Structure 1
Protein backbone atom coordinates (compact mmCIF):
# COMPACT_ATOMS: atom_id res chain seq x y z
CA UNK A 1 0.00 0.00 0.00
CA UNK A 2 1.12 3.52 -0.56
CA UNK A 3 0.77 7.13 0.34
CA UNK A 4 2.37 9.82 -1.75
CA UNK A 5 2.93 13.47 -0.90
CA UNK A 6 3.70 15.72 -3.85
CA UNK A 7 5.45 19.06 -3.92
CA UNK A 8 6.02 21.25 -6.95
CA UNK A 9 9.56 22.22 -7.86
CA UNK A 10 9.97 25.07 -10.32
CA UNK A 11 13.30 25.24 -12.15
CA UNK A 12 14.31 28.67 -13.43
CA UNK A 13 15.42 29.00 -17.03
CA UNK A 14 19.05 29.56 -16.06
CA UNK A 15 19.13 26.22 -14.22
CA UNK A 16 17.11 24.10 -16.59
CA UNK A 17 20.05 22.89 -18.66
CA UNK A 18 21.75 21.52 -15.56
CA UNK A 19 18.59 19.89 -14.25
CA UNK A 20 17.73 18.21 -17.52
CA UNK A 21 21.22 16.82 -18.09
CA UNK A 22 21.32 15.31 -14.62
CA UNK A 23 18.03 13.53 -15.19
CA UNK A 24 18.97 12.33 -18.63
CA UNK A 25 15.79 13.90 -20.00
CA UNK A 26 17.39 15.43 -23.11
CA UNK A 27 17.92 18.99 -24.15
CA UNK A 28 15.67 21.86 -23.15
CA UNK A 29 13.02 22.59 -25.72
CA UNK A 30 11.59 26.01 -26.49
CA UNK A 31 8.21 24.66 -27.56
CA UNK A 32 5.63 26.18 -25.25
CA UNK A 33 2.78 24.03 -23.96
CA UNK A 34 -0.02 24.47 -21.48
CA UNK A 35 0.59 23.62 -17.86
CA UNK A 36 -0.84 20.23 -16.80
CA UNK A 37 -3.24 19.76 -13.92
CA UNK A 38 -0.66 18.75 -11.31
CA UNK A 39 -3.35 17.60 -8.86
CA UNK A 40 -4.71 14.89 -11.14
CA UNK A 41 -1.63 12.87 -12.06
CA UNK A 42 -1.75 9.13 -11.59
CA UNK A 43 0.91 8.27 -8.99
CA UNK A 44 1.72 5.08 -10.89
CA UNK A 45 3.17 6.98 -13.86
CA UNK A 46 6.48 8.81 -13.95
CA UNK A 47 6.13 10.95 -17.02
CA UNK A 48 5.88 11.05 -20.78
CA UNK A 49 7.35 7.91 -22.31
CA UNK A 50 8.44 6.48 -18.95
CA UNK A 51 6.52 3.32 -18.12
CA UNK A 52 8.95 1.43 -15.91
CA UNK A 53 8.03 3.14 -12.67
CA UNK A 54 6.00 5.88 -11.08
CA UNK A 55 8.98 8.04 -10.07
CA UNK A 56 12.75 8.10 -9.68
CA UNK A 57 14.90 8.89 -6.66
CA UNK A 58 16.73 12.19 -6.36
CA UNK A 59 20.00 10.25 -6.32
CA UNK A 60 21.37 6.92 -7.56
CA UNK A 61 23.14 6.39 -4.24
CA UNK A 62 20.43 6.42 -1.56
CA UNK A 63 21.22 6.71 2.14
CA UNK A 64 18.99 4.67 4.42
CA UNK A 65 18.38 4.13 8.11
CA UNK A 66 16.74 1.10 9.69
CA UNK A 67 14.76 2.48 12.62
CA UNK A 68 13.68 -0.91 13.96
CA UNK A 69 15.17 -1.85 17.35
CA UNK A 70 14.55 -5.54 16.69
CA UNK A 71 17.64 -7.42 15.50
CA UNK A 72 15.31 -9.83 13.72
CA UNK A 73 13.62 -7.15 11.64
CA UNK A 74 16.86 -5.29 11.07
CA UNK A 75 18.06 -8.50 9.48
CA UNK A 76 14.90 -8.70 7.36
CA UNK A 77 15.46 -5.19 6.04
CA UNK A 78 19.15 -5.78 5.38
CA UNK A 79 18.36 -8.80 3.21
CA UNK A 80 15.77 -6.79 1.30
CA UNK A 81 18.37 -4.07 0.77
CA UNK A 82 20.87 -6.66 -0.48
CA UNK A 83 18.26 -7.89 -2.97
CA UNK A 84 18.09 -4.49 -4.66
CA UNK A 85 21.80 -3.77 -4.40
CA UNK A 86 22.40 -6.96 -6.37
CA UNK A 87 20.72 -5.27 -9.36
CA UNK A 88 23.60 -2.73 -9.51
CA UNK A 89 21.26 0.06 -10.60
CA UNK A 90 20.65 1.99 -7.40
CA UNK A 91 23.00 1.64 -4.46
CA UNK A 92 21.49 1.68 -0.97
CA UNK A 93 24.03 2.64 1.68
CA UNK A 94 23.57 3.21 5.44
CA UNK A 95 23.51 6.84 6.48
CA UNK A 96 26.43 7.82 8.68
CA UNK A 97 25.74 8.55 12.33
CA UNK A 98 24.28 11.99 12.75
CA UNK A 99 23.55 12.34 9.03
CA UNK A 100 20.11 12.45 7.46
CA UNK A 101 18.74 9.47 5.54
CA UNK A 102 16.55 9.49 2.44
CA UNK A 103 14.97 6.12 3.20
CA UNK A 104 13.68 4.98 6.59
CA UNK A 105 12.36 1.51 7.39
CA UNK A 106 10.93 -0.20 10.44
CA UNK A 107 8.24 -2.61 11.66
CA UNK A 108 5.25 -1.85 13.85
CA UNK A 109 3.00 -4.04 16.01
CA UNK A 110 -0.01 -3.15 13.85
CA UNK A 111 -1.26 -0.40 11.57
CA UNK A 112 -4.27 0.27 13.80
CA UNK A 113 -2.23 1.18 16.88
CA UNK A 114 -0.66 4.60 17.25
CA UNK A 115 2.93 4.70 16.05
CA UNK A 116 5.46 7.46 15.52
CA UNK A 117 4.57 7.13 11.82
CA UNK A 118 0.87 7.52 12.52
CA UNK A 119 0.68 11.09 11.24
CA UNK A 120 2.08 9.89 7.90
CA UNK A 121 -0.51 7.19 7.33
CA UNK A 122 -3.92 7.50 5.76
CA UNK A 123 -6.57 9.07 7.99
CA UNK A 124 -8.82 6.12 7.19
CA UNK A 125 -7.02 3.25 8.90
CA UNK A 126 -9.34 0.71 7.27
CA UNK A 127 -7.44 1.43 4.05
CA UNK A 128 -4.24 -0.15 5.32
CA UNK A 129 -4.90 -2.03 8.57
CA UNK A 130 -4.91 -5.41 6.80
CA UNK A 131 -1.81 -4.75 4.67
CA UNK A 132 1.47 -6.50 5.44
CA UNK A 133 3.55 -3.56 4.24
CA UNK A 134 3.11 0.17 3.70
CA UNK A 135 5.24 2.93 2.20
CA UNK A 136 4.95 6.68 2.66
CA UNK A 137 6.80 8.62 -0.01
CA UNK A 138 7.48 12.35 -0.39
CA UNK A 139 7.84 13.37 -4.02
CA UNK A 140 7.91 16.49 -6.14
CA UNK A 141 7.54 17.36 -9.79
CA UNK A 142 10.48 18.39 -11.94
CA UNK A 143 9.41 20.05 -15.14
CA UNK A 144 10.64 22.25 -17.94
CA UNK A 145 8.86 25.59 -17.59
CA UNK A 146 9.00 26.03 -21.37
CA UNK A 147 7.60 22.62 -22.17
CA UNK A 148 5.37 21.09 -19.53
CA UNK A 149 5.29 17.76 -21.35
CA UNK A 150 8.91 17.28 -20.24
CA UNK A 151 8.36 16.32 -16.62
CA UNK A 152 8.98 13.61 -14.11
CA UNK A 153 8.27 12.90 -10.48
CA UNK A 154 11.24 12.91 -8.10
CA UNK A 155 11.33 10.97 -4.81
CA UNK A 156 12.97 12.92 -2.02
CA UNK A 157 12.19 10.77 1.04
CA UNK A 158 10.43 7.52 1.92
CA UNK A 159 9.33 5.57 4.99
CA UNK A 160 8.53 1.85 4.71
CA UNK A 161 6.81 -0.16 7.42
CA UNK A 162 6.14 -3.86 8.00
CA UNK A 163 2.94 -4.87 9.79
CA UNK A 164 3.92 -7.57 12.31
CA UNK A 165 0.30 -8.30 13.23
CA UNK A 166 -0.67 -9.30 9.70
CA UNK A 167 2.52 -11.25 9.08
CA UNK A 168 2.32 -13.09 12.40
CA UNK A 169 -1.35 -13.96 11.90
CA UNK A 170 -0.53 -15.19 8.41
CA UNK A 171 2.40 -17.28 9.66
CA UNK A 172 4.78 -15.60 7.23
CA UNK A 173 8.19 -17.22 7.02
CA UNK A 174 11.28 -15.02 7.20
CA UNK A 175 11.67 -15.41 3.45
CA UNK A 176 8.15 -14.11 2.92
CA UNK A 177 8.77 -11.18 5.27
CA UNK A 178 11.85 -10.35 3.21
CA UNK A 179 9.65 -10.45 0.09
CA UNK A 180 7.31 -7.86 1.63
CA UNK A 181 10.24 -5.66 2.68
CA UNK A 182 11.77 -5.96 -0.80
CA UNK A 183 8.47 -4.99 -2.41
CA UNK A 184 8.09 -1.89 -0.24
CA UNK A 185 11.66 -0.77 -0.90
CA UNK A 186 11.04 -1.29 -4.62
CA UNK A 187 8.06 1.03 -4.45
CA UNK A 188 10.08 3.54 -2.45
CA UNK A 189 12.62 3.61 -5.30
CA UNK A 190 9.88 4.23 -7.86
CA UNK A 191 8.86 0.79 -9.15
CA UNK A 192 5.17 0.21 -9.70
CA UNK A 193 3.09 -2.29 -7.77
CA UNK A 194 1.71 -4.84 -10.19
CA UNK A 195 -0.27 -8.08 -10.32
CA UNK A 196 2.23 -10.26 -12.17
CA UNK A 197 2.72 -13.56 -10.38
CA UNK A 198 6.44 -13.61 -11.19
CA UNK A 199 7.29 -10.25 -9.63
CA UNK A 200 8.18 -9.23 -6.09
CA UNK A 201 6.23 -6.04 -6.86
CA UNK A 202 3.02 -8.07 -6.87
CA UNK A 203 1.19 -6.31 -4.04
CA UNK A 204 -1.20 -9.24 -3.61
CA UNK A 205 1.34 -12.06 -3.25
CA UNK A 206 3.92 -12.10 -0.45
CA UNK A 207 5.17 -15.51 -1.57
CA UNK A 208 6.97 -14.08 -4.60
CA UNK A 209 10.61 -13.03 -4.25
CA UNK A 210 12.75 -10.70 -6.33
CA UNK A 211 13.33 -11.90 -9.90
CA UNK A 212 15.57 -11.07 -12.84
CA UNK A 213 12.59 -9.27 -14.32
CA UNK A 214 12.31 -7.01 -11.23
CA UNK A 215 16.01 -6.16 -11.45
CA UNK A 216 15.61 -5.44 -15.16
CA UNK A 217 12.73 -3.07 -14.43
CA UNK A 218 14.85 -1.17 -11.91
CA UNK A 219 17.68 -0.88 -14.45
CA UNK A 220 15.24 0.44 -17.05
CA UNK A 221 13.88 2.97 -14.58
CA UNK A 222 17.37 4.20 -13.70
CA UNK A 223 18.78 3.73 -17.18
CA UNK A 224 22.10 5.47 -17.66
CA UNK A 225 23.20 4.88 -14.08
CA UNK A 226 26.27 2.75 -13.41
CA UNK A 227 26.62 1.57 -9.82
CA UNK A 228 29.24 -0.99 -8.81
Structure 2
Protein backbone atom coordinates (compact mmCIF):
# COMPACT_ATOMS: atom_id res chain seq x y z
CA UNK A 1 0.00 0.00 0.00
CA UNK A 2 2.86 2.38 0.84
CA UNK A 3 4.60 1.46 -2.42
CA UNK A 4 1.45 2.20 -4.40
CA UNK A 5 1.07 5.55 -2.65
CA UNK A 6 4.66 6.47 -3.49
CA UNK A 7 4.13 5.38 -7.11
CA UNK A 8 0.93 7.34 -7.44
CA UNK A 9 2.59 10.35 -5.84
CA UNK A 10 5.45 10.17 -8.32
CA UNK A 11 3.02 9.88 -11.24
CA UNK A 12 1.04 12.88 -10.06
CA UNK A 13 4.26 14.90 -9.78
CA UNK A 14 5.21 14.01 -13.37
CA UNK A 15 1.75 14.96 -14.62
CA UNK A 16 1.91 18.25 -12.71
CA UNK A 17 5.31 19.13 -14.21
CA UNK A 18 4.11 18.22 -17.72
CA UNK A 19 0.99 20.35 -17.26
CA UNK A 20 3.16 23.21 -16.04
CA UNK A 21 5.32 22.97 -19.15
CA UNK A 22 2.24 22.84 -21.35
CA UNK A 23 0.78 26.01 -19.87
CA UNK A 24 4.16 27.76 -19.94
CA UNK A 25 4.47 27.33 -23.71
CA UNK A 26 3.28 30.50 -25.49
CA UNK A 27 0.64 30.00 -28.18
CA UNK A 28 0.23 32.06 -31.37
CA UNK A 29 -2.87 33.60 -29.81
CA UNK A 30 -0.65 35.07 -27.07
CA UNK A 31 1.67 36.75 -29.59
CA UNK A 32 1.74 40.52 -29.38
CA UNK A 33 1.55 42.70 -32.47
CA UNK A 34 3.94 45.64 -32.36
CA UNK A 35 3.54 48.75 -34.55
CA UNK A 36 6.25 51.01 -36.00
CA UNK A 37 5.95 54.32 -37.87
CA UNK A 38 8.21 55.37 -40.77
CA UNK A 39 7.97 58.77 -42.41
CA UNK A 40 9.11 60.66 -45.50
CA UNK A 41 10.46 64.17 -44.98
CA UNK A 42 9.33 66.85 -47.44
CA UNK A 43 12.04 68.95 -49.11
CA UNK A 44 12.03 71.82 -51.57
CA UNK A 45 13.36 71.50 -55.10
CA UNK A 46 16.30 73.73 -54.15
CA UNK A 47 17.28 71.42 -51.30
CA UNK A 48 17.23 68.42 -53.62
CA UNK A 49 19.24 70.12 -56.37
CA UNK A 50 21.82 71.58 -53.99
CA UNK A 51 22.08 68.46 -51.85
CA UNK A 52 21.45 70.36 -48.62
CA UNK A 53 18.80 68.03 -47.20
CA UNK A 54 20.01 66.82 -43.81
CA UNK A 55 20.56 63.17 -42.94
CA UNK A 56 17.77 61.43 -41.06
CA UNK A 57 19.27 61.19 -37.58
CA UNK A 58 21.34 58.10 -38.27
CA UNK A 59 18.35 55.84 -39.02
CA UNK A 60 19.65 54.86 -42.46
CA UNK A 61 22.39 52.25 -42.29
CA UNK A 62 24.42 50.01 -44.58
CA UNK A 63 25.36 50.41 -48.22
CA UNK A 64 23.61 52.60 -50.79
CA UNK A 65 23.67 49.56 -53.09
CA UNK A 66 21.27 47.60 -50.88
CA UNK A 67 18.21 49.06 -49.20
CA UNK A 68 18.07 47.51 -45.72
CA UNK A 69 15.02 45.82 -44.22
CA UNK A 70 13.85 44.94 -40.73
CA UNK A 71 10.53 43.33 -41.65
CA UNK A 72 8.89 41.26 -44.40
CA UNK A 73 5.60 39.57 -45.16
CA UNK A 74 5.31 35.82 -44.72
CA UNK A 75 4.51 35.43 -48.41
CA UNK A 76 5.80 37.36 -51.43
CA UNK A 77 2.16 37.62 -52.58
CA UNK A 78 0.68 40.51 -50.62
CA UNK A 79 -2.82 41.97 -50.77
CA UNK A 80 -3.53 45.69 -50.82
CA UNK A 81 -6.51 48.03 -50.88
CA UNK A 82 -6.59 51.69 -51.93
CA UNK A 83 -8.78 53.54 -49.45
CA UNK A 84 -9.31 56.90 -51.14
CA UNK A 85 -12.26 58.88 -52.49
CA UNK A 86 -9.90 60.78 -54.78
CA UNK A 87 -9.44 59.50 -58.33
CA UNK A 88 -6.19 61.48 -58.43
CA UNK A 89 -4.68 59.66 -55.46
CA UNK A 90 -6.04 56.31 -56.60
CA UNK A 91 -3.91 56.65 -59.74
CA UNK A 92 -0.94 57.80 -57.61
CA UNK A 93 -1.14 54.61 -55.55
CA UNK A 94 -1.81 52.41 -58.58
CA UNK A 95 1.38 53.74 -60.19
CA UNK A 96 3.33 53.06 -56.99
CA UNK A 97 2.03 49.47 -56.85
CA UNK A 98 2.98 48.97 -60.51
CA UNK A 99 6.55 50.15 -59.83
CA UNK A 100 7.07 47.62 -57.02
CA UNK A 101 5.41 44.81 -58.98
CA UNK A 102 7.87 45.45 -61.83
CA UNK A 103 10.63 44.26 -59.50
CA UNK A 104 9.37 40.71 -59.98
CA UNK A 105 10.20 39.97 -56.33
CA UNK A 106 6.83 40.62 -54.70
CA UNK A 107 3.32 40.39 -56.12
CA UNK A 108 0.92 43.03 -54.87
CA UNK A 109 -2.67 41.94 -55.48
CA UNK A 110 -5.70 44.22 -55.12
CA UNK A 111 -8.55 43.06 -52.88
CA UNK A 112 -11.89 44.51 -51.81
CA UNK A 113 -11.81 42.56 -48.55
CA UNK A 114 -9.39 42.66 -45.66
CA UNK A 115 -5.97 43.62 -47.05
CA UNK A 116 -2.43 43.23 -45.78
CA UNK A 117 -1.64 46.82 -46.82
CA UNK A 118 -4.01 49.79 -46.93
CA UNK A 119 -3.02 52.79 -49.07
CA UNK A 120 -4.62 56.17 -48.43
CA UNK A 121 -4.32 59.96 -48.49
CA UNK A 122 -5.26 62.57 -45.94
CA UNK A 123 -4.24 65.95 -44.53
CA UNK A 124 -1.54 65.97 -41.90
CA UNK A 125 -2.03 67.51 -38.46
CA UNK A 126 1.69 67.24 -37.66
CA UNK A 127 3.72 70.41 -37.24
CA UNK A 128 6.75 69.01 -39.08
CA UNK A 129 7.25 68.60 -42.82
CA UNK A 130 6.35 64.93 -43.10
CA UNK A 131 4.82 64.29 -46.53
CA UNK A 132 4.10 60.59 -46.05
CA UNK A 133 3.96 58.03 -43.27
CA UNK A 134 3.55 54.27 -42.87
CA UNK A 135 2.39 52.38 -39.81
CA UNK A 136 3.48 48.75 -39.99
CA UNK A 137 2.76 46.04 -37.45
CA UNK A 138 4.64 42.79 -36.89
CA UNK A 139 4.51 39.72 -34.65
CA UNK A 140 6.99 39.81 -31.78
CA UNK A 141 7.41 36.03 -31.79
CA UNK A 142 7.93 35.29 -35.47
CA UNK A 143 10.82 35.86 -37.90
CA UNK A 144 11.84 34.86 -41.43
CA UNK A 145 15.37 35.40 -42.78
CA UNK A 146 16.05 37.13 -39.43
CA UNK A 147 13.35 39.69 -40.25
CA UNK A 148 10.18 40.38 -38.28
CA UNK A 149 7.05 38.96 -39.92
CA UNK A 150 4.49 41.66 -40.69
CA UNK A 151 0.85 41.54 -39.62
CA UNK A 152 -0.54 44.62 -41.38
CA UNK A 153 0.46 48.04 -42.70
CA UNK A 154 -1.16 51.33 -43.61
CA UNK A 155 0.50 54.02 -45.73
CA UNK A 156 -0.51 57.64 -46.26
CA UNK A 157 0.47 60.52 -48.53
CA UNK A 158 -0.28 63.85 -46.83
CA UNK A 159 -2.07 66.03 -49.36
CA UNK A 160 -1.69 69.36 -47.60
CA UNK A 161 2.08 68.95 -47.13
CA UNK A 162 2.57 67.87 -50.77
CA UNK A 163 0.58 70.96 -51.82
CA UNK A 164 2.62 73.23 -49.54
CA UNK A 165 5.88 72.05 -51.11
CA UNK A 166 4.43 72.07 -54.65
CA UNK A 167 4.93 68.37 -55.36
CA UNK A 168 3.94 67.32 -58.88
CA UNK A 169 1.89 64.17 -59.47
CA UNK A 170 5.03 62.18 -60.38
CA UNK A 171 6.72 63.42 -57.19
CA UNK A 172 3.70 62.39 -55.11
CA UNK A 173 3.92 59.00 -56.80
CA UNK A 174 7.55 58.76 -55.67
CA UNK A 175 6.42 59.48 -52.11
CA UNK A 176 3.78 56.76 -52.48
CA UNK A 177 6.47 54.34 -53.72
CA UNK A 178 8.60 55.23 -50.67
CA UNK A 179 5.76 54.58 -48.24
CA UNK A 180 4.81 51.35 -49.98
CA UNK A 181 8.47 50.32 -49.65
CA UNK A 182 8.10 50.71 -45.87
CA UNK A 183 4.88 48.68 -46.04
CA UNK A 184 6.92 45.90 -47.69
CA UNK A 185 9.42 46.00 -44.82
CA UNK A 186 12.19 48.19 -46.23
CA UNK A 187 13.95 50.90 -44.21
CA UNK A 188 15.68 54.13 -45.30
CA UNK A 189 18.63 53.93 -47.69
CA UNK A 190 21.71 56.14 -47.20
CA UNK A 191 21.90 56.88 -50.94
CA UNK A 192 19.99 59.63 -52.72
CA UNK A 193 19.50 57.40 -55.76
CA UNK A 194 17.12 55.14 -53.83
CA UNK A 195 13.38 55.71 -53.52
CA UNK A 196 13.91 54.79 -49.87
CA UNK A 197 16.14 57.81 -49.24
CA UNK A 198 14.53 59.59 -46.30
CA UNK A 199 13.57 62.71 -48.31
CA UNK A 200 12.17 61.26 -51.52
CA UNK A 201 11.04 63.67 -54.19
CA UNK A 202 12.70 62.88 -57.53
CA UNK A 203 13.65 59.26 -56.81
CA UNK A 204 11.69 56.24 -58.01
CA UNK A 205 12.16 52.52 -57.29
CA UNK A 206 15.72 51.67 -58.33
CA UNK A 207 18.19 48.78 -58.26
CA UNK A 208 19.21 49.19 -54.57
CA UNK A 209 15.55 48.93 -53.58
CA UNK A 210 15.02 45.80 -55.70
CA UNK A 211 18.22 44.35 -54.19
CA UNK A 212 16.72 44.98 -50.76
CA UNK A 213 13.56 43.07 -51.66
CA UNK A 214 15.55 40.18 -53.13
CA UNK A 215 17.56 39.89 -49.90
CA UNK A 216 14.39 40.07 -47.79
CA UNK A 217 12.15 37.69 -49.72
CA UNK A 218 14.75 35.09 -50.78
Is 1:188 aligned with 2:189?
Answer: no
User: Secondary structure of the residue that 1:154 maps to in structure 2?
Assistant: strand
| Aligned equivalent of 1:138 | 137
Pick the aligned partner of 1:111 from 115, 120, 124.
Answer: 124
Q: How far has the Cα of 1:154 moved from its partner?
A: 1.0
Choose 1 or 2 for highest CA Rg: 2
Structure 2 residue ranges without an equivalent (≥5): 1-25, 29-33, 39-58, 61-66
Pick the aligned partner of 1:64 from 77, 80, 86.
Answer: 80
| Aligned equivalent of 1:198 | 193
* Counterpart Cα distance in 1 of 2:168 and 2:190: 21
* Counterpart Cα distance in 1 of 2:146 and 2:212: 20
Asked if structure 2 preserves the Cα contact closer than 8 Å seen for 1:137 and 1:188, the reply is: yes
Q: Which contiguous aligned blocks of 4+ residues in structure 1 show a shift greater than 6 angstroms?
A: none
The alignment of Structure 1 onto Structure 2 pairs a total of residues equal to 159
Structure 1 residue ranges without an equivalent (≥5): 1-9, 13-38, 46-50, 113-124, 145-149, 224-228
User: Secondary structure of the residue that 2:96 maps to in structure 1?
Assistant: helix
Cα RMSD (Å): 2.6
- Give deviations 1:41-99, integer Å, cap 9, x for gaps: xx979xxxxx830111132111110001111100000000000000111100001x3x2
Structure 1's 189 and 76: CA in aligned 2 closer, same or farther, altered over 3 A? Answer: same
More helix, by proportion? 2
| Aligned equivalent of 2:8 | none
* Counterpart Cα distance in 2 of 1:157 and 1:180: 20
* Counterpart Cα distance in 2 of 1:93 and 1:143: 24
Asked if structure 1 preserves the Cα contact closer than 8 Å seen for 2:174 and 2:200, the reply is: no
